[in-house]
Amino acid sequence: MARKVTTRRKLVMTAIAWVLGLMIFFPILWTFLTSFKTEADAIASPPQFLFFHWTLENYHEVQSRSDYFKHFSNSVIISFGSTLIGLIIAIPSAWAMAFAPTKKTKDVLMWMLSTKMMPPVGALIPIYLLFQSFGLLDSRIGLVMVLTLINLPIIVWMLYTYFKEIPGEILEAARMDGASLMKEIAYVLTPMAVPGIASTLLLNIILAWNEAFWTLNLTASKAAPLTTFIASYSSPEGLFYAKLSAASTMAIAPILILGWFSQKQLVRGLTFGAVK
């Protein structure tokens, strides 16, 4: 039974929510607007909101001066690479834990989660030195390896919570019909598991794209993804707000759009299925 709501109350709530929502969103909006300003307009006082000279100059400059696309493709390779490898490793184990659980399964899952509790500085020094001696510093391969490992527990957990919802009887039936393990996976499990795998993929790409501890520490220029690229704006020369904004807009836009699509899975994924 829906409760009656007065139109007035609804209008008031709408107004409050929109004002607060726009305030939260404002830094992103402001960055977007500033990216189309000239540097002089970007620091004008009073600030120019819409009536300034719109220009695409900053975007050209960010690309020509610091090769945005190189860093963009590094981000794509690193986030997609680490997520895909993570999925390949995690799918079998999540499947095993969901459909052939033993007494130890819960302990293994807990232990995997506990590896996320380890602060990254605990591993920074050895990883840095190992990377140095194997020539992996500032390499995409090295970063893919590290990000695969740090996101692996989340990938396993997410897949596990999705796989658990697939009714076991269907697998039993397939088994009774004489389907082998591989056939079971290929023809029965996979079609039912695809939505779960897709949202795991999406969330982990977002996490890997925005990861900013290992990327900042292990890359400098050649393999630098967008996180490191943007960090180079922390020691600016001269006027740079508009260029910073253009670079920032290009760095966050792809993932912001992906993120909006994934908002439902986000809750579930980041709480390891505890809140749905």
Partner 1 sequence: MATLHTRSAARLMMAPSVLLLLAWMIIPLAMTIYFSFLRYNLLMPGMEEYAGFSNYSYFLTDPAFFTAIANTLLIVVGVLLITVVGGILFALLLDQPMFGQGIVRILVIAPFFVMPTVSALVWKNMFMNPVNGLFAWIAKSFGFQPIDWFASVPLFSIIIIVAWQWLPFATLIMLTALQSLDEEQKEAAEMDGAGAFSKFFYIILPHMARAITVVVLIQTIFLLSVFAEILVTTNGGPGIQSTNLTYLVYAQALLQFDIGGASAGGIVAVILANIVPFSRVRLIGKNLEA
Positions in 125-144 near partner 1 (CB under 8 A): 125-130
- Nearest 10 degrees: Cα torsion 16, 17, 21, 23: 10
> Given candidates 40, 47, 177, 222, which one binds partner 1 under the rule CB under 8 A?
47
> Given candidates 209, 224, 246, 265, which one binds partner 1 under the rule CB under 8 A?
209
Calpha distance 56→35 (Å, rounded): 8
> Contact, 230 vs 248, CB < 8 A?
yes
> Contact, 265 vs 205, CB < 8 A?
no
Q: Tell me the window of 50-58, 61-69, 192-200, 266-274 that interacts with partner 1 (CB under 8 A).
A: 266-274
Any contact of residue 194 with partner 1 (CB under 8 A)?
no
Q: Tell me the window of 56-64, 66-74, 187-195, 203-211 that interacts with partner 1 (CB under 8 A).
A: 203-211
> Given candidates 108, 174, 179, 192, which one binds partner 1 under the rule CB under 8 A?
108
Any contact of residue 188 with partner 1 (CB under 8 A)?
no
> Given candidates 77, 149, 166, 192, which one binds partner 1 under the rule CB under 8 A?
149
- Nearest 10 degrees: Cα torsion 245, 249, 251, 256: 140
Q: 190: Cβ–Cβ under 8 A, 6 or more apart, which residues? A: none
Q: Tell me the window of 40-48, 57-65, 66-74, 134-142 that interacts with partner 1 (CB under 8 A).
A: 40-48
> Given candidates 76, 77, 192, 216, which one binds partner 1 under the rule CB under 8 A?
216
> Contact, 160 vs 94, CB < 8 A?
yes
> Contact, 245 vs 32, CB < 8 A?
yes
Q: Tell me the window of 55-63, 64-72, 187-195, 223-231 that interacts with partner 1 (CB under 8 A).
A: 223-231
What is the footprint of partner 1 within residues 58-87 (CB under 8 A)? Answer: none
Any contact of residue 117 with partner 1 (CB under 8 A)?
yes
Report how far apart, in Å, the C-alpha atoms of 261 and of each of 45, 122, 254, 266 are. Answer: 37, 34, 11, 10
Any contact of residue 179 with partner 1 (CB under 8 A)?
no
